[in-house]
Structure formats: C-alpha cells, structure tokens
Structure 1
C-alpha cells in the first residue's frame, strides 16, 4: 500500500500519536491558505510523491543550485513561492530514478524544533511474508548511509503473524 506522508500522519493522529499540524495542497492557493491557517513563524513545504529522498531531490528544469522537495521556510510568501516552483514539476530523487515523479500535491506543515530524529519503519518482508520492524536512533534522513557505514546502529526484527509481538 502506498500512502502519502500526510495520509500516514492522519492515521497516526487518529490513534493518539502527536504529529505536527498540516494540510494537503493541490494548488498554490491551497498552499497559501494552509500557511495562513497554521500561522508562523516556520512552515515546511513537502512534496508528496511515493519516493524517499525528497529533501535531497532536485526538480527538473531548475538547475543544480535549486532547493529540493522538502523546504523549511520562514514566511507565508515563501510557502507560496515554493508551491509555485514545486507543483507540476518533476522531482528526481535517488529512489525515483532519472525519470523522477511529478509533484501534484504538497503537504504544508507547521515547523517544529527537532530535539532528536529517530527512524522507525514497519514493512512487509516479501521473502518471509512477515512484518519487519526496522528502528534506529540515528534518524531517517540518511538511513541508507547508516546501514552502509554503521549497520549495528539499526535494529530489526520480524513479527510472527501467529504469535504477534512479545514484550521483550
């Protein structure tokens, strides 16, 4: 199942997980309205495509110095300008390959002071048909690099569907 970040956060919020407030936007006007509803002083404008590495990705046609698909901005005008630049463009990341993916939706989220970044993933292991849990205290922005250089900092285990998760 592929869901966007804003959809995943809505599900988490339904179950009481604290997530930053945010709004999906399909147009520049919706992005500007989201910024107004959230208030400031910091917003995060996030491309919603089914691929990782969005922040480090690059938009086709904007040159090598252009900002990526996740941007921290400090004014409502910058939210609007980022939306104008991102919507309808193709974002190329290490996971999309050279063809990239067109950005048709943004997630405008309130900024937050991040004390610590952690990584947690639940995924289906197709070889075992079990859910695997992957976690790290090293954050998620460069989890591939963590896996390559310090694999001991990543913990993973599979959940047996017959017995579930044990407390230990």
Structure 2
C-alpha cells in the first residue's frame, strides 16, 4: 500500500516525528483558506500523487501570497502529472497539500526498510538529501551510511548517535535524530510497514530537524491487521474532498 505525503506526515506526527504544519485542499479556494489558517506569509503548495519527482514536474510551488497559492493549486488540481518516478503514467492530482515554507540550512536523507540481503530491518542515511538516493550511491557511495537492526535488541540510541556524527551533525542534532529514528522504528514495526523514507529530513536555520517530505509503503500481507491504513489507501476523490473540507491538520 502506498500513501500520499499528507497521510505519511499524519503518521509521522502520531509517532513524534516533527513535520511542518499543513492542510490538504481539493480546490484553489480551499488552498487559500488553508494558507490563511496556517498564517505566515510564505507557503508551499504540493501536488498529492503516489510518485516522487513532483518538483521537476511542476508539482511543488513556493508561494509568497494567497493569490500565488490559489494560482498554484489551480494549475495542479484536476490535471494528470507524470514524473520520472511515475512509471511512465500520468497520475491524477485530486488534492494539494499547503504547508508552511521553512528556511532550510541543509537537507539529509533517512529511510528504514527491510533489507532482503541481510534479512534485517535497516536504516539508510546520507548527508546528501533532497536528491535521488540512487544517484548518491552511484556518485558518492561514501556518503551512504547503513545500520542493520538486531531483531532481538531492537534499535539502540548509541546507533542513532553514531549515525548522526557520521553525517556531521552536532550533539543537539544527534539527540533530535535519535528521537526521530526511534519514532520511525516504532512506526515501522507497529504498522507493519515495508518502507519509510524522509527526503528531505531537513536541518532548518534554527538547527531543528524536520521531515519536510515523506514516503510510506506498507506490507500488503499485513493489511488485515491495519484497517485504518487500508482506509487511508482507499480514500476516494469524493472522500478526499470531504477530508479537505474539514481541513486535516498535520500537527
């Protein structure tokens, strides 16, 4: 099962992983209402489709006024969007996510998945976030860091701190990363997930770590144990519009 970004961020927030405030919208007018409700003067409008690479396809826009928010949402909603990760298919955009625009100092990459080779749950991380991780692996493999989790001991805080220092983070950021990784590990296991990816996991100008984008895939074989996840997956356009009307909050 695949999930939209806003749904992934709802799961992140539930497990203590920091995400920027955001609201979903099914129309340009709802997008403007979302921006006004969030406050501030800068927002991101992001098309909600099951594929990465939305920015290059025009599916992520930085807006400095509610008029720009309305125009961005109008340009995305109701169209079909194809990205380099959509498998040659154009996917319909029925929802946009409006979030606070944040000032980013650095972008990191962090994911957790089942490594079939080692038969272990593993974290993959890199200080080179915001780009395709396969590209990093090809061009600078030394920037890829992997942690295999012992299934008896579970994830240990010292492993998180070591990973943080390997990526050049300071002590305060290492503490934040530890909390995020422990939350991801708990989410991964309790929801029977197959993959969670934070790209980017950003260091803001304030030094705070925050998940600005996220991808979540769950194990289809465990669907019977998670009816709420199945309901999220099966959210139809009509249901999505209703959800937008009541303005889902991400935190």
TM range (shorter): 0.7 to 0.9
**How far does residue 160 in structure 1 lie from its aligned partner after superposition?**
3.6
Provide Cα deviations, 1:50-107, integer angstroms capped at 9, x if missing partner.
Answer: 11111112xxxxxxxxxx1111111111111111110111111111032221111111
Instruction: Evaluate the alpha carbon distance shift between residue 84 and residue 139 of structure 1 in structure 2; reply closer, same or farther with a 3 A threshold.
Output: same
SS of the residue 1:116 aligns to: strand
Q: Which residue of 2 aligns with 1:52?
A: 52
List aligned pairs for 1:13-162, cutoff 5 A: 13-57=13-57, 68-126=58-116, 130-162=120-152
Contact preservation (8 Å) 1:53, 1:141: no
Q: Which residue of 2 aligns with 1:62?
A: none
SS of the residue 1:56 aligns to: helix
TM-score by length of 1: 0.84
Please, which runs of 5 or more residues in structure 1 have no aligned partner? 58-67
Q: Which residue of 1 aligns with 2:5?
A: 5
Superposed CA RMSD in Å reads: 1.8
Q: Which residue of 2 aligns with 1:60?
A: none
In the aligned structure 1, how far is the partner of 2:79 from the partner of 2:116? 33
**How far does residue 156 in structure 1 lie from its aligned partner after superposition?**
1.8
Please state which structure has a larger fraction of its residues in helix.
2
In the aligned structure 2, how far is the partner of 1:129 from the partner of 1:103? 37
Contact preservation (8 Å) 1:55, 1:71: yes
**How far does residue 140 in structure 1 lie from its aligned partner after superposition?**
2.6
Contact preservation (8 Å) 1:47, 1:69: yes
Structure number with the bigger relative contact order (C-alpha 8 A, sep ≥ 6) is: 2
**How far does residue 129 in structure 1 lie from its aligned partner after superposition?**
5.2
TM-score by length of 2: 0.58
Instruction: Evaluate the alpha carbon distance shift between residue 144 and residue 56 of structure 1 in structure 2; reply closer, same or farther with a 3 A threshold.
Output: farther
